[in-house]
């Protein structure tokens, strides 16, 4: 299980699938599979700030199983790569998004090889991220 930063929020990766947060209530965060119309779900417990990184003591409960659908391998590669580009911008807000993209591509060509999104497609979210810092 890990969290991938995306547009200032977090997407949960669990067991090769991606989940978006749907709701939080009474210290529980409810997640649903991002693949429509799959209804697979997870619950994390002991979550009291849905926007904060998930604490190490968060417990996971598996809800409904996935429909028959392939794991979103390219989506995960794209998110992981964009997160690293975002981290570069966060560390150096003066960095141009294009430079951060190219630096990360050079730093991790293995991950980049499986990335299917393009800079032009991603630039608006990278610029949005830059404005937040
Ligand atoms: Zn699913």
Q: If you search the block for the tokens 């619950």, which residue do you land on?
A: 43
Beta pairing partners, 2: 13
DSSP secondary structure, 68-113, as one string: S----HHHHHHHHHHHHHHHHHHH-TTS-HHHHHHHHHHH-HHHHH
What lies within 8 Å, CB to CB, of 11 at 6+ separation is 3, 4, 5, 18, 19, 20, 34, 79
Task: Write out the H or E segment, with its range, that includes residue 123.
Answer: helix 119-131
Å from CA of 88 to ligand 1 middle:
31
Please state the domain extents for the chain: 2-62, 73-131
Ligand 1 centroid to residue 32 C-alpha, Å:
8
Distance 102 CA to ligand 1 centre (A): 32
Q: pLDDT tens, position by position, for the chain (133 residues)?
A: 888 887 767 889 999 999 998 988 888 889 999 999 999 999 988 777 766 666 766 778 889 999 999 999 999 999 999 999 988 998 998 999 999 999 999 999 998 999 999 999 888 877 766 655 4
């Amino acid at each position: 299980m890990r969290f991938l930063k995306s547009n200032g929020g977090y997407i949960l990766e669990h067991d090769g699938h991606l989940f978006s947060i749907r709701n939080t209530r009474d210290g529980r965060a409810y997640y649903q599979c991002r693949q429509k119309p799959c209804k697979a779900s997870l619950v994390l417990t002991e979550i009291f700030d849905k926007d904060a990184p998930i604490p190490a003591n968060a417990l996971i409960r598996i809800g409904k199983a996935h429909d028959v659908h392939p794991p979103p391998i390219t989506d995960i590669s794209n998110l992981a790569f964009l997160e690293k580009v975002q981290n570069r911008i966060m560390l150096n807000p003066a960095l141009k998004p294009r430079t951060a993209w190219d630096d990360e591509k050079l730093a991790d060509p293995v991950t980049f090889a499986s990335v299917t999104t393009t800079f032009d497609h991603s630039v608006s979210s990278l610029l949005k991220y830059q404005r937040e810092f």
